[in-house]
Amino acid sequence: MELSWGLSYEIVSREGLSPLERALLARAQAAAELAYAPYSGFPVGAAVRLKDGSIYTGNNQENLAYPSGLCAERVVLFQVGALRKAAEIEALAIYAPKVEVAFPCGACRQVMLEYEQMGEAPWALIFAGAAASVYRMKGISLLLPFHFVWKRS
């Protein structure tokens, strides 16, 4: 059996983003500045926009008792899950200033996928770093092929 899947994404300049996308990325950048990353020295910020236009942010939070810290993506997603409904999310931006572009780790991809599935629609995703261009795509599932899914009865 032959398996194949395509990864559809765009690499665009920051100026090529829509005003809503630029605003979301700016909030992720601001969140990265507040990251608590004294051990790795690798700050990351994330921002999500909900369907009503509100934006929530998070950043990585490290702890000497590794692996007790959390990535920026999970910090912001768990915050939205605790305060609102994850199904309300429509877009997510990730920013890390010390790499050309920031992509989520595997654990964050799984959390992102489950939260995205709650909303029954793929999110707009923006991945950015020190480079002048950003990666833009729709939906997290293509970044996590053969992902774990459990259908609750």
Per-residue model confidence as pLDDT tens digits over 68-125: 999 999 999 999 999 998 889 999 999 999 999 999 999 999 999 999 999 889 999 9
What pLDDT was estimated at residue 34?
A: 98
In terms of residues, how long is the chain?
153
| CB distance 28 to 150 below 8 Å | no
Please write the tens of the pLDDT for every residue from 5-21. Answer: 677 899 999 999 999 99
Identified catalytic residue from 21, 33, 62, 73: 73
What pLDDT was estimated at residue 142?
A: 82
Token readout for 76 is 């912001």
Q: Minimum mean pLDDT among 4-8, 52-56, 141-145: which range?
A: 4-8
In angstroms, the CA 117 to CA 52 distance is: 18
In angstroms, the CA 153 to CA 90 distance is: 26
Asked if 114 is an active-site residue, the reply is no
Strands 45-50 and 89-95: antiparallel
Q: Hey, which bits of 29-150 come out as E strands?
A: 45-50, 55-59, 89-95, 124-128, 133-138
